[in-house]
Structure 1
Amino acid sequence: VLLVASVSGKLIGVQIAGRILKWAPGEASIIGWLLQTKALIMIIFVNILLDKGIITNETFTALLLMAVGSTMLTVPVVYPRLQQVRELIFRAA
């Protein structure tokens, strides 16, 4: 549930921003997926919370797995999209 919430929250937020800023189709999706790597910073944050006793070991494990999972999804999803964009750019040039 945490992984779905994390990924979808970033993707929906960037899609809204992309519509407001009138980005080209597909740009918001690529940026949203690249934001998934931001979850690595969460590992530092949850370590601090665990050290301070604010979260339990179970919560730490769930958040850690969510951070690693969302980061691992980035390359398999973004690489094909970047290849498509590169083909469009070189075809237009």
Structure 2
Amino acid sequence: MADLMERHIAAQRAVAHAVHFANFSGAAEEVPCVSYANRSLGAAREDDTARAAIVNYEPRDDREARLKLTYIAAYLMATRASLNAHERNATLHTVGRTN
């Protein structure tokens, strides 16, 4: 679980870096649109993949189940995002198996 969380955090940082690079790199003509789009798309895909890995991860015990729920709750509060129906069901299903 810790490896998945680290991977997700790294992906979020890559997204933030891509946005920061586009916003603060100086003159707009210095940032090729295609380069920014590719960097942003790649970072967003990795973020989605890492998030899905956490959502679908099956905790080995109650401690990991609580860690998973805590991480997801913190992520949702920090980003003001939400889980779609599939993600909610997968999270509840995988966490419920540890009882």
Give the TM-score normalised by the residue count of structure 2: 0.47
Select the structure that is richer in helix.
Answer: 1
